[in-house]
Amino acid sequence: MYSRISKYIFKYKGRVLVALFSLFAGTFLNGMSLSLMVPLVDKVLVQGSKNAEIVIFDVKQEKSESLLKEIETSVKIKANDFVKNKTPLDILKIFSIFLFFLIFIKGFCSFGREYLMESVSYKIIKDIRDDMYAHLHFLSMDFFTKKHVGEIMSRITNDTGYVQNAVCRGWTEMLFDISNIVIYTAIAFYINFKLAIFAIVIMPCLVYPII
């Protein structure tokens, strides 16, 4: 079915690409807001309660690092320098404001994705119904003798609604779920590699006998 309606989707490829960008951006920001909870709790709240100097990220510089690793190390060092000599309350305020903007942008991306995909689905349904209506004019009278009027109307109205759900909800929700799995799995491995292995491999084996 998707191969047959792909020609209709291609007509609105600009809106679809922007919707996909909003989808992946919202998923990335959702994972970022979640990953910020770890340094907020472990470094700011715990170290702040001990009156120790707050270090957000533990940085270990190596001689030979890849470009991505160098960028990550540079960002961590700048974050540590930024919170240096600041009180835990000041850092908590900064984190709160930053998380607020992250959630706001994430909500904007979610709204954009829903709006664009809804508009694309309605435009596709209109095109399909126009093509079906034009096709009916070229059918023989024998076709209309054998088919009931209600059945034809159902094909035009109800069945195209299923196509709308498939376009708007089906593959977009599938991509959204897959991107969530990838982002959250990457965050879990980044936080604690051994615990992530335990959660992904061993935990399902322990839950299976219960099910």
* Torsion on CA atoms 192, 193, 197, 200, rounded to nearest 10: 60
Task: Compute the 3-state secondary structure of the chain and give helix, strand, coil in percent, each to the nearest 5.
Answer: 85, 0, 15
Task: Give per-residue pLDDT as tens, 141-177.
Answer: 787 777 777 777 777 777 777 777 776 667 777 888 8
Q: Say what the pTM is.
A: 0.67
Tokens of residue 174, six digits = 């599938």
Determine which of 3-7, 38-42, 47-51, 89-93 has the lowest per-residue pLDDT on average.
47-51
Task: Give per-residue pLDDT as tens, 45-96.
Answer: 666 555 556 666 666 655 555 666 666 677 677 777 776 777 777 777 877 8
Question: Rounded distance, CA 47 to CA 209, Å?
Answer: 41
Exposed, middle or buried: residue 88 (CB in 10 Å: 0-12, 13-18, 19+)? Answer: middle
Residue 54 three-state SS: coil
- Degrees to nearest 5, angle at CA 196 with 178 and 38: 90
* 16, 120 Cβ separation under 8 angstroms: yes
